[in-house]
Structure 1
Amino acid sequence: MTASVKASGAPTREEFSERLLRGSVKKYYEPVVDVDWDAPLAPDKFFLPPKSVSLYGTPLWDAMTREQRIELSRQEFVNTLSAGIWFENILNQALLRDLMHADPTARSTHYALTEMGDETRHMVMFGRAIEKVGGKPMRPKRYQRMIINLLPLTFRGALLWVAALVGEEIFDSLQRNMMDDPDLQPVVQRIMRIHVTEEARHIQFARDGARKRVAEMPWLSRMWVANLNGVGGLFFRHLFTNAAQYRRAGLDGKEARRVARTSPHHHDVQALGFAPLAAFLTDIGLMGPIARRLWTRTHFLPATPSTRPADDVATAEERELYDGPAVLRVGDVDHTVRVRLIGHLEPIDGQYHWQGAIFGEIPDDVLKRPLATLTVDGRAAQARITERTPQGNYGVVGVGTPPFA
């Protein structure tokens, strides 16, 4: 792992890793028991939000029945989980090789081992999910398996962390925008929430590793990593438009792939998923001209540069932050609380999504009745309480007009 680096008051690698280790103890999942694998699939619900399916908004999609659309979402879900298994396999191999050169007493080593445990459980979860939805895993071809086995040998230093971010953060960003969609199968929502919660720490670890490595990299190495990451665009274009998923859904694989790759809506979905990582890579100087060209060519970057700030996809003003008093109604009982809420208009589904934290005394069993009404200055909105945080507060989400509008 990287040596501890202290710069401008930022935590060292060891301090940062210690914080992540504490977070892993406070909040982690065992998918074998934390997902209700025995619950039946919900009838007439999608496995990915309709607007996230690659053919959405095309004439081919318009000609499909609802049943065909659901089946396509199932096959794309299986395809994505299959790729997730292979990527996390690569990442674990790379981390394990890196640990051969690391201090076994270092907190960064301990967190890398913790992450490997998380990823192992995720692979089990993805495998169980494919089985649950009645899918068949998408298996890599022989030459692809050879590449998969060779890649961990090349992932060292900053390249390891950038590769981890490319593999993790695009999926994470898309899942955050998908997981509360009411059209989703409940089991899919649960899987996404578990994955997003634990991947958030993995992404922080990789970002910290990349940022600290860049500061000490020779110019030539930095240029190599800054431009090589663009290959990720080619990989994800292939993944998101894998012809096999269309064939399994009863479509012409080559034609469906062509339609998806030329769909403006699909391009927007890809750009939305890549935006946070693109901003980060640009911020630390690892978005080289060749990489930018490849990401743009594969439609993960818009052809015209974004005017958004580099540290986020939307500014706080655009996302309407509210911090103040509110009334939370759970059942027939009102509770005076303080809330901190933020929201944004989601391009994928065209709806306003808001979320935040609730501070105050509310019933201990509130998670058993997560649906509630949140009122701010007389404006009420339906909300869903998602979890209790290690600090004793509660997470809350909603879709539609927020109570603080």
Structure 2
Amino acid sequence: MTLSPEAVRRAGNPTREEFSERLLRGSVKKSYEPIVDIDWDAPLEPDKFFLPPKTVSLYGTPAWDAMTREEQIELSRQELVNTLSAGIWFENILNQALLRDLMHADPTARATHYALTEMGDETRHMVMFGRTIEKVGAKPMRPKRFQRVIINGLPLVFKGPLLWVAALVGEEIFDSLQRQMMDDPQLQPAVQRLMRIHVTEEARHIQFARDGLRKHVGDMAWWQRLWVANLHGVGGYFFRHLFSNPAQYRRVGLPGGASRDLARASAHRHDVQISGFAPLAAFLEEVGLMGPIARRMWRRSHFLPATPSASPAPAAIPAPSDDAGDDAYDGPATLRVGGTDHAVRVRLMGHLDPTDGRYHWRGTVFEALPDDVLRTPRVTLAIGARISDARLTEKTPWGTYSIVGEGAPPFA
């Protein structure tokens, strides 16, 4: 069902400032520092995939069946690198566009503050993607010269509602696919951790973009609405090219063009793409921004079913979660859990958050701890004579633990 502009105004959603304030609080309470939240020193597991097999582009084709497991794993490695490389370039574009938009924004507004927070997240994501490419032992996929010219020009075009639609197209398809694959037991632990971090923080970015679009859609002129509702269909062709980039096949010794054509014709691949686009497609339909030209382009690139089906259920904006120059320390510490001391190694980093004016630090505890340790997450961490209260938040794929704290850190 498409909401009219009047219905959007009467929906009773939080104001842009209220929504942004809640996202800011969520960012303070649940954010990551990939430098300390991923165990970059842990070795790769030789028999595990870098993407779940069912999401690799050639899965379900004769070419996939003819490959050895080692060749399949190598293809998953190159497809991961291809995706992460594109992620770096997209987040670069998004940050440039947000910065240009902020030149005309109120610097005291909470929406401005959250946009700056999002740019900080995206910067850390680019570092995380680059470190992961290095970690898996591959070279990044670099855009060609003409593609770099286009990339540098896009931030000049992404303004207003088009910026939010572009952000959703660039973020939500990846987010949807990552949610489906990040708990796959066949996946490398480092990739699982990357996806967990990315999904957690991108959820807030998606909420921010959806809310921005909702707040603008009722005030758009008819020609602007027509333009935005149809232009985003180009994203289907971009993702089709990305997911079947011939370079990733050539790197594993397969013919680039023939493999690309095989992947694009794969019915299984079409199903994967449709499932990844479904949440965004439902949202665009709901707010009246799925134009006929865009719908045709998404369908021709196999992100929508070839035969129109029943209208998808409206995609509500998830409620923002309130759970949602720094020095690093890597060395010994004493962790006290329930009155028992444990000698551990930790890697920690922190920063002063301007949102609440407090110092927030976090990191990883590397030693094995009792199985029930998360039942009493409140702990103290001592490094030398400095002792700080902290909280264990989760167990990572490597069996290590994430730890967070506020106030004076235990490291100098």
SS across alignment from 1:153: helix
SS across alignment from 2:143: coil
Q: Which residue pairs with 1:257 in the alignment? A: 260
TM-score of the superposed pair, with normalisation by structure 1: 0.77
C-alpha change, 1:252 and 1:92, in structure 2 (3 Å) is: same
- Per-residue deviation, 1:249: 1.1
Q: CA deviation digits over 1:348-376, x for unaligned, max 9?
A: xxxxxxxxxxxxx97225977789xxxxx
AA paired with 2:186? D
For 1:38 and 1:241, the matched residues in 2 are separated by 31
Q: Are residues 1:29 and 2:32 paired?
A: yes
Q: Which residue pairs with 1:225 in the alignment? A: 228
Unaligned runs of 5+ in 2: 1-7, 317-372, 378-391, 406-412
Contact 2:175 2:202 (8 Å CA) reproduced: yes
Q: Are residues 1:143 and 2:146 paired?
A: yes
For 1:389 and 1:232, the matched residues in 2 are separated by 38
In structure 1, which of residues 171, 185, 191 is the aligned counterpart of residue 188 of structure 2? 185
Q: Are residues 1:109 and 2:121 paired?
A: no
Q: Which residue pairs with 1:119 in the alignment? A: 122
Q: Are residues 1:60 and 2:63 paired?
A: yes
Q: Are residues 1:299 and 2:317 paired?
A: no
TM-score of the superposed pair, with normalisation by structure 2: 0.76
In structure 1, which of residues 252, 271, 276 is the aligned counterpart of residue 274 of structure 2? 271
C-alpha change, 1:308 and 1:388, in structure 2 (3 Å) is: farther
Contact 1:6 1:12 (8 Å CA) reproduced: no
Q: CA deviation digits over 1:95-121, x for unaligned, max 9?
A: 000000000000000000000000000
Q: Which residue pairs with 1:363 in the alignment? A: 375
Q: Which moved more, 1:303-312 or 1:53-62?
A: 303-312
AA paired with 1:65? T
Contact 2:393 2:404 (8 Å CA) reproduced: no
Contact 2:286 2:315 (8 Å CA) reproduced: no
Q: Which residue pairs with 2:283 in the alignment? A: 280
Q: Are residues 1:290 and 2:293 paired?
A: yes
Aligned pairs for 1:167-246 (under 5 A) are 167-246=170-249
Contact 2:9 2:218 (8 Å CA) reproduced: no
Contact 2:193 2:396 (8 Å CA) reproduced: no
For 2:147 and 2:25, the matched residues in 1 are separated by 37
For 1:50 and 1:280, the matched residues in 2 are separated by 29
Q: CA deviation digits over 1:255-312, x for unaligned, max 9?
A: 0000000000000000000000000001001000000000000000001223364325
Aligned pairs for 1:256-405 (under 5 A) are 256-307=259-310, 309-312=312-315, 363-364=375-376
SS across alignment from 2:375: coil
Contact 1:90 1:152 (8 Å CA) reproduced: yes
For 2:111 and 2:393, the matched residues in 1 are separated by 34
Contact 2:33 2:124 (8 Å CA) reproduced: yes
For 2:179 and 2:81, the matched residues in 1 are separated by 18
Q: Are residues 1:81 and 2:84 paired?
A: yes
Contact 1:282 1:310 (8 Å CA) reproduced: no
C-alpha change, 1:6 and 1:111, in structure 2 (3 Å) is: farther
AA paired with 1:77? L
How many aligned residue pairs are there?
A: 326
For 2:42 and 2:219, the matched residues in 1 are separated by 51
AA paired with 2:152? N
Unaligned runs of 5+ in 1: 314-360, 372-383, 391-405
- Per-residue deviation, 1:10: 1.0
AA paired with 1:170? I
Q: Which residue pairs with 1:381 in the alignment? A: none
Contact 2:91 2:122 (8 Å CA) reproduced: yes
